[in-house]
Amino acid sequence: MMRMILAGFWLCLVTLASGYGAVEYFTRQAGAATEDSGYFQGITYETTRTMTVPVITDGAVEGYVVAQFVYTAQSSTLQALGVPAESFIMDEAFHHIFTSEDIDFRELRRFDSRAFLAQLTERVNARLEGPVIREMLIEEFNFVDDSQLR
């Protein structure tokens, strides 16, 4: 009888110790994971409206560029701006696409999207007078030929 009581007591003690050890281990692992993901702490992910930019060659509309962008920024910085950052992104993108002679819209496979996004991010941050936009991505970027329209 005494052996059964001691075995039961030993079993309870081992169960409690292993449960405590497991909780302690997983709590430390979760704390380490949140420290590693500090890059995305407080970051918001926003999508701009779709914009349509006419491509004019020799005084005639050749087609339209349909573009939509995604940007990441610090949430607190966006709230402190007081003006929507999307307006500046749309304006800079429109001006860059409309005035660019470097981009051949009929052959977009030669389009350097990384350089375009880096330049767009730099221009928007210059207008906002600080590093507000962290990263820009392309959600959609298409050229619709004038002959394809109804």
Same domain membership, residue 72 and residue 24: no
Same domain membership, residue 119 and residue 106: yes
Provide the pLDDT for residue 122.
95
Provide the pLDDT for residue 125.
93
CATH code of the domain in which 63 resides: 3.30.479.30
pLDDT tens, position by position, for the chain (150 residues)?
888 888 888 888 889 888 888 888 888 887 765 555 555 677 888 999 999 999 888 888 888 999 999 999 988 888 888 888 999 999 999 999 888 877 777 666 677 889 889 999 999 999 998 899 999 999 998 888 877 776
Same domain membership, residue 72 and residue 44: yes
Same domain membership, residue 136 and residue 78: yes
Same domain membership, residue 48 and residue 29: no
Q: Taking a C-beta distance cutoff of 8 angstroms, is the pair 65, 143 a contact? A: yes
Same domain membership, residue 143 and residue 74: yes
Same domain membership, residue 60 and residue 14: no
Q: Taking a C-beta distance cutoff of 8 angstroms, is the pair 70, 140 a contact? A: no
End-to-end CA distance of the chain: 92
Provide the pLDDT for residue 139.
93
Same domain membership, residue 63 and residue 29: no
What pTM was computed for the model?
0.68
Provide the pLDDT for residue 39.
58
**Hey, CA dihedral for 92, 97, 98, 99, is it positive or negative?**
positive
Q: How many domains does the chain have?
A: 2
Domain that holds residue 22: 2-36
Same domain membership, residue 49 and residue 29: no
